[in-house]
Amino acid sequence: MAYILATEGLNVGDYIFSKEDVVNKSGNSGYLYGLPIGLRVSSIELIPNKGAQFIRAAGAYATIVSKFEKTVILKLKSGELRKIPSNCLATVGAVSNFQYIYRNFRKAGFYRLKGWLPVVRGVAMNPVDHPHGGGQGKTSGGRPSVTPYGFITKGKPTRKRSSSLILKSRKKI
């Protein structure tokens, strides 16, 4: 038994295939070296035979820009160009449910009913609970924004950048 991410246009009862000379139909999987340039792909392996690790969110896809002997260059929705080994598997088509970002939360306690807990500000806590806690009245914390463990939260980059695989950085906002 295997589970896959559904792609746009895939219906219940459709047959999907995973092989070298794959038909370019939504849902089929194939090696990147066998897929044509300009095709939208999703559920991409970063390391061969490790399973899909890349382009898995609702509505996500990457476009094959160019192919070389051992690498394929993909353009992501963010505008980033990324190099991936050509013997990695990818699924043809974009991931389904692209309208997920337009969901309606229906009521004020929507996330509470899903099991999410409220987020309490650090300045509203006691000094033993958070570095921003304590003080008389409304104090602002007296230090840069930090996590409950004392690590800086704002302005410090958190993305691990592998410069050898990224050809063009993503768009800046």
Tell me the pLDDT band of 173, cut-offs 50, 70 and 90.
low
3-class DSSP assignment, residue 102: helix
- Segment 53-65 shows an average pLDDT of 94
Indicate whether 157 pLDDT > 80: no
Interatomic CA distance for residues 119 and 123, integer angstroms: 12
Which CATH architecture describes the domain 1-103?
Roll (2.30)
Give residue limits of the domains in the chain: 1-103, 106-154
* Mean pLDDT, the chain, integer: 89
Hey, what CATH topology would domain 106-154 get? Ribosomal protein L2; domain 3 (4.10.950)
Query: pLDDT per residue over 67-115, tens digit each?
Result: 999 999 999 998 999 999 999 999 999 999 999 989 898 898 999 999 9
Question: Would you say 127 and 139 are in contact if contact means Cβ atoms under 8 Å apart?
Answer: no
**pLDDT for residue 161:** 67
| Most distant CA pair in the chain, distance | 70
Distance (Å, rounded) from C-alpha 33 to C-alpha 1? 27
